Amino acid sequence: MHVYISDPSLLRNVEEFLTRTGCVAEQSRSHELDVSVPSAPDERQARRELNVCLATWQALNPGVEAYIVESDGDSRSA
């Protein structure tokens, strides 16, 4: 899954946060991470877990958007 971060200066911060929650995350673009959730049994559960993690991170970082980028590039999931 691709995760967009509105403030690229916090990309490393969200990457470390997601890694601590059990995700595998690495930078793919200046504003995006590639993220997987190895413990999730399927894609739907992985998406749910990642959305919870992103919502938690956003609560800790007010004013910064972080969301899953859909394949069409226009939809937000978090």
Mean pLDDT, rounded, for 31-48: 96
Helix axes 11-20, 43-60, angle to 10 degrees: 120
Q: What are the phi and psi torsion angles at 40 (to 5°)?
A: -75, 135
**Residue-level pLDDT at 52:** 97
> What are the residue boundaries of the structural domains of the chain, listed by start?
2-69
Instruction: Quickly tell me which residue has 């413990």 as its tokens.
Output: 39
Instruction: Name the nearest CA neighbour of 2 among 54, 69, 64.
Output: 69
Distance between CA 73 and CA 76 in Å, rounded? Answer: 9
**Residue-level pLDDT at 17:** 97
* Residue 25 pLDDT > 50: yes
Mean pLDDT, rounded, for 50-71: 94
Name the band, by pLDDT with cuts 50, 70 and 90, for residue 54: very high
Distance between CA 70 and CA 61 in Å, rounded? Answer: 22
**Residue-level pLDDT at 73:** 44
**Residue-level pLDDT at 71:** 61
